[in-house]
């Protein structure tokens, strides 16, 4: 039977996971038809992209306001398509502000809803679990503690494992990728991953580069690598050299290679911290928001001891986190240099290898998610 599926992925990480999911679905049901919101990766897998909103993902209040018009137009268009095309099911990937509203629209029309990579209700807005229970037919989670969270609230959820394990199966911390990227031999490699959004980069990269200069005074030779995210315009990262006297090694589109090659990473909090944790590279996690956004986050985010996904998965402070006022060149350099003594970097790499990857469910997460979705489709009546 040929199924029609809508998928909504509003961020670049969702586009990546949607790509893996659609590939797994097509391996099982080659005739499946998929449309929705996504980015270039989903498009490359044959998804009919109604609109790409991944470039409009926002962090902070000002960015969210600027993106609102685009996202609202996409929402109206997708709701109309629910009526015009009547998909057999809707699959939602993270992106809760949009997707929880869209789940309600689909549910009201009798269209089954699967939430794959559920919103982080365990961190904030826990009350939204009522919407998940009311409008979502199947919840698929990718972090081990999320299933326990839902079950504690009387909601069934299935842990399918983390899809990044498949994406990163060929990457391990070591010098192999240093040679491929052209880093000089016998050089300490400091990798910088300041985020993918303009505000993130503006808030973090100057402090990271200034910290690198301080670190270079104690560690020589030092090579500084930056892997600009695909969403960062070329003209933007060409100006980064003016922020430092150190030569920069720019490797656009090679974030995973840089993660594997680096001796130490300075990483913006987000998915990249878990990617680096899976690869097994020592890191310092940083993040900085506007004063107002930070205040709101402090008020709203509760019951979460850590900022980084690596520490959340390990359930302990495995890697240092420097947030807000601690994001200074002096503090970053101080912590970085402390890690380079007494074998602490090697110890952290060993701990990451034993405490992150093994807890994420093993390879094949996209396939397990696809099986759950197809099972739901087979037990649901087709839409007219």
The full DSSP string for 229-270 is -TTS-HHHHTTGGGG-SS-EEE-TT-HHHHHHH-SEEEEESS
| Token pair in block for residue 182 | 């052209």
CATH number of 4-163+364-379: 3.40.50.2000
Concatenating the DSSP letter of every residue in 119-138 gives: --TTTS-GGGHHHHHHH-SE
Query: Any idea where the domains of the chain sit in the sequence?
Result: 4-163+364-379, 176-360
CB 163 within 8 A of CB 366: yes
The values of phi and psi at residue 351, to 5°, are: -65, -40
CATH number of 176-360: 3.40.50.2000
Q: Do 4-163+364-379 and 176-360 come out as alike in CATH topology?
A: yes
Angle at 258 between CA 252 and CA 259, to 5 degrees: 130
Q: Report helix angle 365-379 to 12-28, nearest 10.
A: 60
> pLDDT (tens digit, 0 to 9) for every residue of the chain, 384 residues total?
689 999 999 988 899 999 999 999 999 999 999 999 999 999 999 999 999 988 655 444 445 555 678 889 999 999 999 999 999 999 999 998 899 999 999 999 999 999 999 887 755 567 678 999 999 999 999 998 899 889 988 999 999 999 999 999 999 999 999 999 999 999 999 999 999 878 889 999 999 999 999 999 999 999 999 999 877 888 888 889 999 999 999 999 999 999 999 999 999 998 899 999 999 999 999 988 665 654 555 555 556 678 899 999 999 999 999 998 999 999 999 999 999 999 999 999 999 999 999 999 999 999 999 999 999 999 877 665
Please give the DSSP secondary-structure letter assigned to residue 359: G
Instruction: Name all contacts of 149-158 with Cβ < 8 Å and 24+ positions apart.
Output: 149/121, 149/122, 150/118, 153/129, 155/129, 157/118, 158/372
Q: Report helix angle 96-108 to 61-85, nearest 10.
A: 20
The CA-atom distances, in angstroms, between 213 and each of 124, 191, 237, 247, 261 are 37, 13, 18, 10, 20
**pTM for this model (two decimals):** 0.86
Among 369, 275, 367, 340, CA closest to 313: 275
């Amino acid at each position: 039977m040929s199924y029609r599926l809508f998928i909504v992925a509003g961020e670049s990480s969702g586009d990546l996971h949607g790509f893996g999911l659609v590939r797994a679905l097509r391996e099982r049901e080659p005739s499946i038809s998929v449309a929705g919101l996504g980015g270039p990766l989903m498009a490359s897998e044959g998804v009919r992209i109604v609109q790409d909103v991944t470039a409009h993902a926002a962090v902070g209040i000002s960015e969210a306001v600027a993106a609102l018009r685009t996202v609202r137009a996409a929402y109206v268009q997708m709701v109309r398509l629910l009526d015009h095309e009547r998909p057999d099911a809707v699959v939602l990937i993270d992106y809760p502000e949009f997707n929880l509203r869209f789940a309600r629209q689909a549910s009201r029309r009798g269209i089954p809803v699967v939430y794959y990579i559920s919103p982080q209700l365990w961190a904030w807005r826990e009350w939204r679990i009522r919407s998940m229970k009311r409008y979502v037919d199947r919840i698929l989670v990718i972090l081990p503690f999320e299933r326990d969270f839902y079950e504690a609230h009387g909601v069934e959820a299935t842990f399918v494992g983390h899809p990044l394990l498949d994406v990163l199966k060929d990457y391990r911390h070591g010098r192999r990728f240093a040679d491929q990227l052209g880093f000089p031999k016998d050089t300490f490699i400091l990798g910088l991953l300041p985020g993918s959004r303009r505000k993130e980069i503006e808030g973090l990269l100057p402090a990271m580069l200034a910290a690198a200069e301080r670190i270079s005074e104690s560690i020589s030779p030092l090579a500084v690598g930056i892997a600009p995210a695909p969403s960062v315009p070329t003209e933007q990262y060409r100006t980064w050299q003016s922020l430092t006297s150190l030569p920069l090694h720019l490797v656009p589109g090679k974030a995973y290679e840089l993660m594997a090659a680096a001796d130490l990473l300075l990483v913006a909090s987000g998915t990249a911290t878990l990617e680096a944790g899976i690869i097994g590279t020592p890191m310092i996690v940083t993040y900085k928001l506007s004063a107002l956004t930070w205040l709101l986050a402090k008020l709203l985010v509760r019951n979460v001891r850590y900022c980084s996904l690596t520490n959340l998965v390990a359930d302990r402070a495995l890697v240092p986190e420097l947030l807000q006022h601690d994001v200074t060149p002096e503090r970053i350099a101080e912590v970085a240099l402390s890690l380079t003594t007494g074998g602490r970097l090697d110890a952290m790499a060993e701990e990451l290898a034993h405490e992150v990857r093994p807890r994420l469910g093993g390879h094949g997460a996209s396939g397990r998610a696809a099986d759950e979705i197809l099972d739901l489709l087979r037990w649901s009546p087709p839409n007219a």
